[in-house]
């Protein structure tokens, strides 16, 4: 299985590469015949004042 993270530009250090990230990322799974499933975890911008 392939896992891809899409993180907003310039915020890579603020995001955790898990589903428990504070931005509450969304997850989609795609599967093509004959290929392994690919999971895409899409992270959302974190406001500057939240920590």
Does residue 50 belong to any structural domain of this protein? no
Does residue 27 belong to any structural domain of this protein? yes
In the chain the beta strands, taken as DSSP E runs, fall at 2-6, 26-30, 38-42
| pLDDT tens digits, one per residue of 1-51 | 889 999 999 998 889 988 889 999 999 999 999 999 999 999 999 987 655
CB atoms within 10 A of CB 20: 8
Count of domains in the chain?
1
Structural domain range at position 7: 2-42
Starting at the edge strand found earlier in the chain, the sheet holding 2-6 runs: 2-6, 38-42, 26-30
pLDDT at 48: 76
CB 39 within 8 A of CB 4: yes
Pairing between strand 26-30 and 38-42?
antiparallel
pTM for the model: 0.76
pLDDT at 50: 53
Does residue 47 belong to any structural domain of this protein? no
């Amino acid at each position: 299985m392939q896992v891809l993270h899409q993180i907003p530009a310039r915020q890579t250090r603020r995001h955790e590469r898990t589903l428990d990230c504070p931005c509450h990322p969304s997850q989609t799974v795609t599967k093509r015949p004959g290929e392994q499933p690919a999971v895409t975890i899409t992270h959302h911008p974190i406001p500057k004042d939240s920590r």
